[in-house]
């Protein structure tokens, strides 16, 4: 039987509160540090490794975390999720983004439909469409090939697909898989759409409108912006646009689009990169085979998330250490620091994934919780971040846990030797140095130059950023967020917090305002 209990009611959590703290600076210094790096490491899918040696844990803490995982029934709750239970209690919905990846060999039926068959059929439809575009069987009105694809969407319809596209763009160019350049329009700020439209040849551009409901204000506004640009160029917009939407939306059977690919209510926006939301733009940009490899990488990581042994389940372990940092050690933030320019937008995606999922103050039953839930997530790629906010991370008054991501090889496989080392070696040297610097610090009589150390971090290490490793990385963090939501007993799959501002914005546009809302509206000349 599954029990949904608040964190502070669990006996294992009370044990964690009483457990001895780890002196990170002490255990990471000298030979003990070397042994920890070798010991505290767990394999992920696709050759990735999660190393947590520089976290404030030891064998005793890990034992307590394993007890917490068992008492909170984390594996059993994941099984409930992928077997089709109504895990999204706020909206009374199933949660099926794992099923899109097809990894667990389950048949889940909803609304009288086999959802696996539904998702697979959409993947096949996208693949066939993409191949026809690449082959020149689907063209513009002049019979010329499309060379650019532009995704119009916001939130989960933009952040995840954009991050993955940027992660794989150079890899695809190097490996002969680059089919079409992709651009993204998300912000309702007209400068966003204008900048993208000014950077492309609209006559050879294919536009993907992504809106599950078909009513998203920002997305429909930007669609009108695009249609206006096509009209001014003497082009028929319906020859240049496809939709990704639900089967019941007004976009589903509209003549305004070449075709429509479908999603459903069981995959939330921030979890939708492996659905048609990411599938259409990524298959057009790189080919459906590359998108299939991405899904396979995610599926492989998902399988690891079913392991009841915490020390062999990297996403669960990462999640539990994060809970320990948030609820026992009292750290309110986490920095995500990829030492790969390819992952430049990955922290932005994780901001939404994590903060929209677990930024909740009530539990699954609507009762206010008395403990902290999701952390603040931020980050930038290394080494750029080192010259930005690392000052605070090293010597600020707050301790911020760090999640590094690093790769042994670059994507383009071109480099230069300067001062006896390559650029890639310099990049990797920096991430290794930062981990030890944060953990061990450096004593100095000059207080301004003193580094206290004791600042925890983990690192995910891989060989290279490619479709399979990106899929595995994405699934790792999706599953980490899911497990943390289970521990905190919150619903990680709705996002009511984004609604109030939308409602008030509609009032402003309808000039139905009073009080402070009216004054702000007047100040902005609305």
- Residues with a catalytic annotation lie at 356, 387, 502
Q: What tokens were used for 340?
A: 């790969």
Q: How far is CA 281 from CA 42, 129, 184, 219, 310, in A?
A: 33, 11, 10, 16, 36
Distance (Å, whole) CA 237 – CA 251: 14
Q: What tokens were used for 213?
A: 């409901």
Candidates 77, 129, 166; CA nearest to 244 is 129
Q: What tokens were used for 186?
A: 């998300």
Distance of alpha carbon 211 from the chain centroid:
19
Candidates 173, 118, 112, 179; CA nearest to 145 is 179
The set of residues, in sequence order, having a beta carbon less than 8 Å from that of 447 and lying 6+ positions away, is none
Four-residue CA torsion sign, 449, 454, 456, 457: positive
Q: What tokens were used for 51?
A: 């190393």
Q: Give start and end residues of each alpha helix (H) in 22-158.
A: 24-27, 30-39, 59-71, 74-82, 97-100, 115-135
Candidates 459, 466, 337; CA nearest to 411 is 466
Q: What tokens were used for 425?
A: 């070696």
């Amino acid at each position: 039987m599954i029990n949904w209990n608040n964190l502070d009611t669990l006996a294992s959590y009370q044990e964690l509160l009483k457990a001895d703290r780890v002196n990170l600076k002490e255990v990471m210094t000298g030979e003990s540090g070397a042994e920890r790096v070798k010991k505290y490491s767990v394999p992920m899918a696709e050759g990735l490794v999660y190393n947590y040696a520089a976290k404030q844990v030891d064998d005793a803490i890990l034992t307590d975390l394993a007890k917490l995982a068992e008492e909170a029934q984390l594996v059993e709750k994941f099984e409930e999720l992928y077997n089709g239970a109504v895990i999204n209690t706020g909206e009374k919905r199933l949660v099926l983004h794992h099923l899109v990846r097809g990894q667990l060999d389950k048949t889940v039926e909803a609304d009288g439909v086999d959802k696996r068959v539904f998702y697979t059929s959409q993947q096949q439809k996208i693949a066939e469409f993409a191949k026809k575009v690449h082959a020149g069987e689907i063209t513009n009105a002049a019979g010329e090939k499309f060379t650019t694809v532009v995704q119009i969407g916001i939130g989960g319809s933009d952040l995840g697909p954009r991050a993955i596209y940027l992660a794989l763009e150079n890899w695809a160019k190097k490996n002969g898989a680059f089919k079409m350049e992709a651009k993204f329009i998300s912000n309702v700020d007209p400068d966003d759409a204008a900048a993208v439209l000014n950077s492309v040849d609209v006559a050879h551009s294919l536009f993907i409108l992504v809106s599950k409901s078909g009513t998203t204000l920002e997305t429909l506004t930007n669609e009108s912006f695009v249609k206006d640009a096509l009209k001014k160029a003497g082009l028929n917009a319906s020859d240049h646009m496809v939709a990704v939407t639900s089967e019941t939306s007004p976009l589903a059977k509209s003549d305004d689009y070449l075709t429509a690919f479908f999603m459903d209510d069981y995959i939330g926006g921030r979890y939708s990169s492996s659905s048609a939301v990411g599938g259409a733009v990524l298959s057009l940009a790189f080919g459906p085979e590359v998108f299939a490899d991405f899904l396979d990488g995610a599926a492989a990581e998902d399988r690891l998330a079913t392991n009841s042994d915490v020390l062999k389940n990297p996403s669960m372990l990462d999640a539990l250490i994060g809970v320990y940092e948030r609820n026992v050690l009292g750290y309110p933030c986490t920095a995500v620091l990829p030492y790969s320019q390819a992952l430049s937008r990955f922290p932005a995606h994780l901001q939404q994934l994590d903060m929209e999922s677990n930024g909740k103050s009530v539990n699954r039953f609507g009762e206010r919780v008395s403990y902290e839930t999701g952390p603040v997530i931020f980050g930038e790629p290394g080494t750029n971040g080192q010259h930005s906010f690392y000052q605070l991370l090293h010597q600020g008054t707050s301790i911020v846990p760090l999640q590094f991501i690093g790769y042994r090889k670059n994507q383009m496989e071109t480099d230069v030797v300067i001062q006896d080392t390559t650029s890639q070696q310099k990049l990797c040297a920096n991430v290794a140095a930062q981990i030890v610097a944060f953990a061990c610090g450096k004593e100095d009589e000059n207080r301004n130059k003193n580094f206290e150390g004791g600042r925890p971090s983990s690192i995910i290490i891989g060989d290279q950023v490619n479709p399979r490793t990106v899929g595995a990385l994405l699934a790792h963090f999706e599953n980490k967020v899911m497990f943390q939501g289970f521990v905190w007993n919150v619903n990680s799959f709705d996002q009511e917090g984004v609604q109030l501002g939308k409602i008030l914005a509609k009032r402003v546009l309808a000039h139905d305002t009073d009080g402070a809302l009216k004054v702000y509206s007047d100040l902005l000349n609305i």
